[in-house]
Amino acid sequence: MEKVLIVVGDATETLDTMYPYYRLVEAGFQPVVAAPEKRLYQMVLHEVKPGWTITKEWEGYTIEADIAFKDIVPEEYAGIMFSGGRAPEYIRYDEGLVRATKHFFETNKPIASVCHGVEIPAYADCVRGRKMATVPKCQFDLEVCGGIYVNEPCVIDGNLISGRTFHDNGHYVGPWIKLLEAARDGKAN
């Protein structure tokens, strides 16, 4: 069973994380939760409530990290997913995560990103000239690092597939899974 990384940290968005996690299982992949260190992480729920101008946040489920960023051997993984929430703002500076991120872009393996997840490849200098969806408040982060913001539920730019928020899960996760399956099936031949 091929392994796929899901990048999280404290305050990772619950739906951004759990929907792709179970879709990977369903497709016959082994999701591997990667974080700053191997421990339990608190996920959150995010929503802009009616009448609010900012995101409201409250606690969601917890998730156990299988591996610390520093211990990732990227060659062992078929793809990577950058989950959203507030975590990317803090974890993007981790050298092990930056190293792994660059590997997936350089080797053209399937990459998914949602919401604030864009902050990780942006910081790793991997978005120049690439089209991506993200939550509108991260448009600046993407564009200042050379990326191209597209306000659509699913943006496909080669091996990079992205969505804006968990509301887009049903649009962008399926095409990412198909890329992973195509890469896996191509290796089997």
Q: Which domains does the chain have, with CATH numbers?
A: 3-188 (3.40.50.880)
Is the pLDDT score of 187 beyond 90? no
Percent of the chain topping pLDDT 90:
90
What's the whole-number mean pLDDT along residues 68-84? 98
Distance of CA 6 to the CA centre of its chain: 6
DSSP 78: E
Q: What is the pLDDT of residue 56?
A: 82
Give residue 36's identity as a one-letter amino acid code.
Answer: P
Please state, rounded to an integer, the average pLDDT across all residues of the chain: 96
Identify the pLDDT of residue 189. Answer: 53
**CB of 13 closer than 8 Å to CB of 44:** yes
Q: Give the per-residue pLDDT at 54.
A: 81
